Amino acid sequence: MKTLFLAWQDSISRTWFPVGKLTHEDGMYHFVYIQGARKAEKEANFQPIWSFPDFDYHYTSPELFPLFANRLLKRSRPDYKDFVQWLNIPAHQDDPIALLARSGGKRQTDSFEVFPCPERDENGVYHVHFFAHGLRHFPSDVEQYVRTLEVGTRLLITHDMQNKFDSRALILRTEDLHFVGYCPRYFTQDFFELVCDRPSQVNVTVERVNLPPTPIQFRLLCSLTAEWSDDFHPFSGAVFQEFSQVLAIYT
C-alpha cells in the first residue's frame, strides 16, 4: 500500500494542516479525512473539499481522484521527461503516487499540497526523499553554492530553535557549515525524533541538484535514511488518525 497525506494552508495565518489521507491498494484509490481536518476547521474555518463533501465518508475509486490527478504533469507534455528527471524517479516507476510523493503536487491556484508517509525500504530502514525547502528566502549566494554540491555530499540536520516562524524548524547544512535549505515541515517531528534518539544512524545526502531553469523548489533533492526501530511509527500523532477509526470508538 502507498500512502500520501493531503495538507491545506490557511490563507490568513499561513499555517499548514494535514487534513486527509490518500492510499492506493489493490488497484483502488481511497481518500479519507483525518483528525487534522477537525483541527483546521476549529482553528482556521477549514471546510470539506467540494469533491469530498463529507468528513466522515470513505471515498473509493479505480481512478485517481481529480483533486490529485490535476496536480500531475500530463505525459503528453513535451517537458514531462524533464520533470521526471528533476524528481530523479527511475524509469517505469513514474506512477501517480510516486510523482505526487516526490513533487508535492503544489499548484499556484489553491492551498493544498501532498507529502508521503515513509515506508520501510528493501533493507528494512526508514528512507524518504525530499526537496530542501526555503531556498528562495536565503541570500542568493546560498542558492549559488547549492548548484556546486555533488551527488552523495553528506548533509547534517540542525535544530533552528530561534527561528521566529517555527521554533522546531530543522535546517540543513554541509559538514563545512554551509546552510542549504530546510527540511520540509511535515517531516519535522519524525526527523527530530530520529536525530535525537539515534543521531549516528541518520544519514542525509544530496540525491540530485537541478540547475536553472528548473524551478527553485526542485533545486536540491535530498535522501534520508535511518534505522527503523520497532517502537518508531511515522505520522502516528492524533492529527493523522482517520475519522472512521476514531468515531468507531464511540459507536
Which pTM value belongs to this model? Answer: 0.88
| Domain assignment of residue 136, given as a range | 121-228
Q: How many domains does the chain have?
A: 2
105 and 211 co-located in one domain = no
In angstroms, rounded to a whole number, what is the distance separating the alpha carbons of residues 168 and 3?
25
Specify whether 109 is located in the same domain as 158: no
Cell numbers at 97, concatenated: 503516487
Residues 99 and 199 in one domain: no
Cα–Cα distance measured from residue 192 to residue 142, given in angstroms and rounded to the nearest whole number: 24
204 and 250 co-located in one domain: no
Residues 51 and 97 occupy one common structural domain: yes
220 and 132 in a common domain? yes
Same domain? For 104 and 49 the reply is yes
Quickly list DSSP for 75-103: TTSTTHHHHHHHHTPPTT---HHHHHHHH
* Pair (144, 50) in one structural domain: no
Check whether residue 218 and residue 251 sit in a common domain.
no
- Based on the fold, state whether residues 4 and 111 are members of the same structural domain: yes
How would you write the pLDDT of the chain (251 residues) with one tens digit per residue? 589 999 999 999 888 999 999 999 999 999 999 999 999 999 999 999 999 999 999 999 999 999 999 999 999 999 999 999 999 998 788 999 999 999 999 888 889 999 999 888 888 899 999 999 999 999 999 999 999 999 999 999 999 999 888 888 999 999 999 999 999 988 998 999 899 888 888 999 999 999 999 999 999 999 999 988 888 888 988 899 997 643 322 22
Specify the CATH number for the domain of residue 177.
Answer: 3.30.70.2330
